[in-house]
Amino acid sequence: MQPIGTIIREELMRQERSISWFARKLSCDRSNVYRLFQKHSIDTALLMRISVILNRDFFAELSRNLPANKERDI
């Protein structure tokens, strides 16, 4: 599975949105956005904000990568 930062960057590019636009929507600096693109995991509250901004359910996409319904040791 690709790191979440890579998936977010690809979606931003697919939508032809700029880094500056995305940074404004997230209320952060462009440098923070570039750091976000390098992350393998991020906070769920931040992922929720990004999902709303980009109008894409990243949670559903990530959950599709879970193993099939096998009993798991908890």
Reported as a single tens digit per residue, the pLDDT across 10-20 is 999 999 999 99
User: What confidence tier does 70 reach under pLDDT thresholds 50, 70, 90?
Assistant: low
Domain around 43? 4-63
Asked whether 51 and 57 are in contact (CB, 8 A), the reply is yes
Has residue 38 been placed in a domain?
A: yes
Domain count of the fold of the chain: 1
Please state the rounded mean pLDDT for residues 45-68.
92
Give the chain's mean pLDDT. Answer: 92
Q: Where are the beta strands (DSSP E) in 1-74?
A: none
Has residue 36 been placed in a domain?
A: yes
Helices (H) and strands (E) in the chain, counts: 5, 0
Q: What is the model's pTM?
A: 0.86
Has residue 69 been placed in a domain?
A: no
Identify the CATH number of the domain in which residue 11 sits.
Answer: 1.10.260.40
